[in-house]
């Protein structure tokens, strides 16, 4: 058995607002919005490159899932460029970019619901 992908589920108060934030700040595109059309969304799947993020309206979240949820996203390059983008768009910075002693460069931001997006790349 090989595990080959993880897709974090972030509980959010307003799925439509979260779709807009993840698109503007991090460049994610909606692939599925439920319900479709003009209805108020309760669930969405966003995509960028090989990464998927699920957004679930907080009052629909099972098993007591609540924000903040933290997920680590691995990228291969341009970490500092991405950080400049998130900073430009006013994301709440939890940890500025830095080289870590375990061989990674990373930063952390929070979405409007307090969910943590941890962006990491190996130091080459």
Closest by CA to 83, choosing from 118, 55, 115, is 118
What pTM was estimated for this model as a whole?
Answer: 0.92
Domains located in the chain, CATH noted = 9-122 (3.10.180.10)
pLDDT tens string 29-66: 999 999 887 789 999 999 999 899 999 998 888 788 88
Write out the two tokens for 65.
């899932």
Checking if the pLDDT of 113 tops 80, the result is yes
pLDDT tens string 89-104: 999 999 999 999 999 9
* Arithmetic mean of pLDDT, 62-89: 92
């Amino acid at each position: 058995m090989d595990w080959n992908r993880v897709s974090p589920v972030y509980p959010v108060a307003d799925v439509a607002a979260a779709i807009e934030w993840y698109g503007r700040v991090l460049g994610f595109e909606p692939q599925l919005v439920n319900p479709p059309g003009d209805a108020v969304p309760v669930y969405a799947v966003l995509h960028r490159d090989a990464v998927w993020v699920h957004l679930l309206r907080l009052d629909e979240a099972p098993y007591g899932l609540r924000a903040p949820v933290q997920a680590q996203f691995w990228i291969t390059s341009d970490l500092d460029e991405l950080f400049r983008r998130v900073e430009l768009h006013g994301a709440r910075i939890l940890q500025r970019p830095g080289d870590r002693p375990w061989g990674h460069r990373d930063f952390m931001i929070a979405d409007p619901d307090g969910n943590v997006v941890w962006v990491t790349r190996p130091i080459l």
